[in-house]
Structure 1
Amino acid sequence: MARTHFIFLVLMFSSSSSSSSSPPSSLSLSREQEEDRIQALPGQPKVRFSQFSGYVTVNESHGRSLFYWLTESSSSPHTKPLLLWLNGGPGCSSIAYGASEEIGPFRINSTGSNLYLHNFSWNTEANLLFLESPVGVGFSYTNTSSDLKESGDERTAEENLIFLIKWMSRFPQYQYRDFYIAGESYAGHYVPQLAKKIHEYNKACNKPIINLKGFMVGNPEMDKTNDKLGTITYWWSHAMISDASYNSILKNCNFTAERFTKECDSTIYDAAADFGDIDQYSIYTPKCVPKFIGNKQTHKTLLPKPILDEYDPCTESYAEIYYNRPEVQRAMHANRTAIPYKWTACSDSVFNSWNWRDSDNSMLPVYKELMEAGLRIWVFSGDTDSVIPVTATRFSLSKLNLPVKTRWYPWYSGNQVGGRTEVYEGLTFVTVRGAGHEVPLFKPQSSLILLRSFLAGKELPRS
């Protein structure tokens, strides 16, 4: 309790200038924003929206700073809501995934040299704020190396909140604006935990500047017991493992235990050999195949050259080329400390040193608390993901025992079934047909319909 009280004092002090009757001069704020303005990214097509990127320091004494990228809405940015996107991992970059292959306005070509427009970008509906969190992810950094061995859920949520308050002090036009959070995978922890921090912060402030309206998460980690059981069930029900492997797992694994035994781990490992060489995040699409030219590794698919806005399994490798280019980093005001390692889509060091003792076994109590607070909450699931599959999400949601408001029905994207949905009291569940782990990457048009319905607070279209 004392730690939380201290955090609120720090946050309230850091935001006091923006919530007082005499805010900082617009000149100084304008100068800060202009310093973060992206004039144009290398290889970028002409656009009609503004972009900003840079750093916000979230811990002065340790020198921890988080990197962000704001792409304003392509229409009516002054009235559209603000949406923060977080990727999971833990250790994966929202720039690499959310911005560059899921919901952002640009896609990267196969050589990592140019950008082209994404026809179903979410910035048609909202101002998009991408955050690389926690420190050690992407361009976000710390001057204290021991910080990288101490990352966990609690510090990540605290520093994401500090980031938001300081960022809104830099961009006061977004204070009090309708605000939403979205993310996927391990952001199934980040998103509701940050929403809870914001809710607590708002209750503690006389005049809160973060107008949180709701959040949504895709293929999220929700509850360790149900996630594990739901994953094994998905493997068997989708013919990824044999009956013998499935029965052996059920015999040797206790899904309610905090940790699996070595015998259980060994059984699961043996069962995974049944998969074959597939992309477990998207079980029906081709995986990216490395191709070596001399000593240099490139990537290719087993299909003809992808058509724009169609799924390309090698897109992550294009991001790692593009964001390591010095001219791109200069344009984005990134890598100001000249980190001695390459920018990567996911940080192995962050994941491998994650403090799993500071990782909630279940997020369901947080969902209950935030539903009672009246937040709009949507959970969506691509139904071809075997890593955090739709069965895991359904098992977890069933534990909430929510009354059904609108019974299960198919929703439509154009003239095709986009998925299915069921609306409960306090929460909406959505499946996206044919989508893998990164739902907007696989089904961009359906995902944009999902976003529009979520922001409008309306049920998904029935036809």
Structure 2
Amino acid sequence: MGFSQFYVLFFLSIFVGTCFTSPSEDQERDRITYLPGQPRKVGFAQYSGYVTVNKQAGRALFYWLIESPTSRGPQSRPLVLWLNGGPGCSSIAYGAAEEIGPFRIRPDGKSLYLNPYAWNNLANILFLESPAGVGFSYSNTSSDLYTTGDQITAEDAYTFLVNWFERFPQYKHREFYIAGESYAGHYVPQLSQIVYQRNKGIKNPVINFKGFMVGNAVIDDYHDYVGTFEYWWTHGLISDSTYRILQVACDFGSSLHPSLECMKALKVAEMEQGNIDPYSIYTKPCNNTASLRHNLRGHYPWMSRAYDPCTERYSEAYFNRPEVQKALHANITGISYSWTTCADIVGNYWADSPRSMLPIYQELINASLRIWVYSGDTDSVVPVTATRYSIDALKLPTITNWYPWYDNGKVGGWSQAFKGLTFVTVKGAGHEVPLHRPRQGFILFRSFLEKKPMPT
């Protein structure tokens, strides 16, 4: 090698070394060393940061990975992606901070305490704020916030996964599952479909996808409406006359948007229900929850923006603290607005929302993926009756008849196994099952991962 060639290669190596980082360096940059208010040094690793999903538009999604405790072997446990719905609501606010994450936020909005039923005890949990505009996720193209919908959300989430696995190659061939609730009843099967279809024909798929689980999930517009009105009536929340009007005025088989008569009937139904928490009808609302509700746009006019127990307020206090954002490597671009649990601008301008997920269910059932659907039975927003009607529409053969499952000798709920799908109810749980029934939610998740029926 000549003298000049040597120096060319030498300086090139320096340039490459300074412009490109290895996956391990990227991981270390995302490592969380300590969260403000954390109760003590924890026995598991955490990472958070941004993954770019569209360079041209400047769209980047924020994630938070919480690994299993080192004593339980995180390297041998599966990876689970958790998504919350809305659309426009944060998986950090709900999934991580008040449902399945290892920490809960105290009322002071400053200190944390441990959740004994955190799902990272069973799997490595990856929380994603999606789409751009939700939580800490952002876009440098403002028009993106007005044109978001199901399709772009699924595509961006898939791009996120592909790029994230490059940053965390140790997870590339790990068993991978997707889980979520509420409007993630759209996100989860749609992303599952993309992953499944793009894995086809690949000898060693980048994503070792095994199945999905959804809770209190929006599945099919027609059956969701029918089942919701029936739940209101059978649980004594509305009058006989209002129930009859809703059945006639709200014809969702032929119209994408509810008629004026339907909207009037829904308004009457809301007045008849009074100041209850519709997401958990037997628990006390946090102060005047009803007055804080914002109706979801489009064709779910009865659905509030998000469940609003007081814990939501603790999240907004905690995640807006500058020291917390610094610890999470969040808000690195100096977003001009405060972090919120739900982004109204995203939900209010939602561009596309297919009426039914049932065709996707059928495709993925035929692909022999593991599919579990669960339902907290005190939720009146996406109630158990709506989910049962949707599942019934699939016309799946029954493998195991309806049976009670138990926790410490007490009925925890009921379950039925169909060919290709398992349905589980959780007794006394509202819209967010792991919030209201954390122990039972933990048992449910464990059964799903182990591919075992609910304990009898």
- TM-score, normalisation: structure 2: 0.90
What CA distance in whole angstroms lies between the structure 2 residues aligned with 1:406 and 1:49? 38
Q: What are the Cα deviations for residues 40-89 of structure 1, in whole angstroms up to 9, with x where unaligned?
A: 00011220100000000000000000000000002210100000000000
Partner of 1:80: 77
Counterpart amino acid of 2:336?
A: P
What CA distance in whole angstroms lies between the structure 1 residues aligned with 2:225 and 2:67? 38
Q: What are the Cα deviations for residues 368-421 of structure 1, in whole angstroms up to 9, with x where unaligned?
A: 000111100000000000000000000111100000000000001222111000
Pick aligned residue for 2:61 from 66, 76, 79: 66
Pick aligned residue for 2:182 from 178, 182, 185: 185
The answer on 1:174 being equivalent to 2:168 is no
1:336-347 equivalence runs, <5 A = 336-347=332-343
Counterpart amino acid of 1:29?
A: P
Partner of 2:285: 287
Q: What are the Cα deviations for residues 135-190 of structure 1, in whole angstroms up to 9, with x where unaligned?
A: 00000000000000110111110110000010000000001100011000000000
Partner of 2:8: none
Aligned length: 417
Partner of 1:446: 440
What CA distance in whole angstroms lies between the structure 2 residues aligned with 1:260 and 1:29? 50
Query: Which blocks of at least 5 consecutive residues in structure 2 are unaligned?
Result: 1-19, 293-306
What CA distance in whole angstroms lies between the structure 1 residues aligned with 2:249 and 2:374? 31
Counterpart amino acid of 1:274?
A: E
What CA distance in whole angstroms lies between the structure 2 residues aligned with 1:50 and 1:248? 54
The answer on 1:364 being equivalent to 2:361 is no
* TM-superposed deviation, 1:197: 0.3
Pick aligned residue for 1:316 from 288, 312, 315: 312
1:418-437 equivalence runs, <5 A = 418-437=412-431
What SS does the aligned partner of 2:373 have? strand
What CA distance in whole angstroms lies between the structure 2 residues aligned with 1:156 and 1:135? 8
1:256-405 equivalence runs, <5 A = 256-258=253-255, 259-289=257-287, 313-355=309-351, 358-405=352-399
What CA distance in whole angstroms lies between the structure 1 residues aligned with 2:348 and 2:369? 33
Residues 452 and 86 (structure 1), Cα distance of their counterparts in 2 relative to 1, 3 Å cut: same
What CA distance in whole angstroms lies between the structure 2 residues aligned with 1:405 and 1:422? 8
* TM-superposed deviation, 1:248: 1.8
What CA distance in whole angstroms lies between the structure 1 residues aligned with 2:21 and 2:110? 36
Counterpart amino acid of 2:217?
A: P
* TM-superposed deviation, 1:312: 10
* TM-superposed deviation, 1:201: 1.1
- Note if contact 2:275-2:288 (Cα within 8 Å) is conserved in structure 1: no
The RMSD of aligned alpha carbons is 1.6
Pick aligned residue for 1:39 from 29, 33, 53: 33
* TM-superposed deviation, 1:30: 1.1
What CA distance in whole angstroms lies between the structure 2 residues aligned with 1:207 and 1:359? 33
What CA distance in whole angstroms lies between the structure 2 residues aligned with 1:92 and 1:32? 27
Partner of 2:191: 194
What SS does the aligned partner of 2:273 have? coil
What SS does the aligned partner of 2:80 have? strand
* TM-superposed deviation, 1:290: 6.1
Partner of 1:98: 95
Counterpart amino acid of 1:93?
A: S
1:110-121 equivalence runs, <5 A = 110-121=107-118
* TM-superposed deviation, 1:257: 2.3
Partner of 1:247: 244
* TM-superposed deviation, 1:209: 1.3
What CA distance in whole angstroms lies between the structure 2 residues aligned with 1:217 and 1:449? 15
What CA distance in whole angstroms lies between the structure 2 residues aligned with 1:199 and 1:101? 30
Counterpart amino acid of 1:207?
A: N
What CA distance in whole angstroms lies between the structure 2 residues aligned with 1:360 and 1:253? 18
What SS does the aligned partner of 1:274 have? helix
Counterpart amino acid of 2:24?
A: S
What SS does the aligned partner of 1:429 have? strand
- Note if contact 2:132-2:139 (Cα within 8 Å) is conserved in structure 1: yes
Query: Which blocks of at least 5 consecutive residues in structure 1 are unaligned?
Result: 1-25, 292-296, 298-310
Counterpart amino acid of 1:189?
A: H
What CA distance in whole angstroms lies between the structure 2 residues aligned with 1:313 and 1:388? 17
What CA distance in whole angstroms lies between the structure 1 residues aligned with 2:170 and 2:248? 57
Pick aligned residue for 1:222 from 219, 232, 236: 219
What CA distance in whole angstroms lies between the structure 2 residues aligned with 1:227 and 1:78? 40
| 4+ aligned runs moved over 4 Å, structure 1 | none
Counterpart amino acid of 2:211?
A: G
Partner of 2:6: none
What CA distance in whole angstroms lies between the structure 2 residues aligned with 1:414 and 1:60? 52
What SS does the aligned partner of 1:422 have? strand
Identical aligned residues as a percent: 59
What SS does the aligned partner of 1:196 have? helix
The answer on 1:57 being equivalent to 2:52 is yes
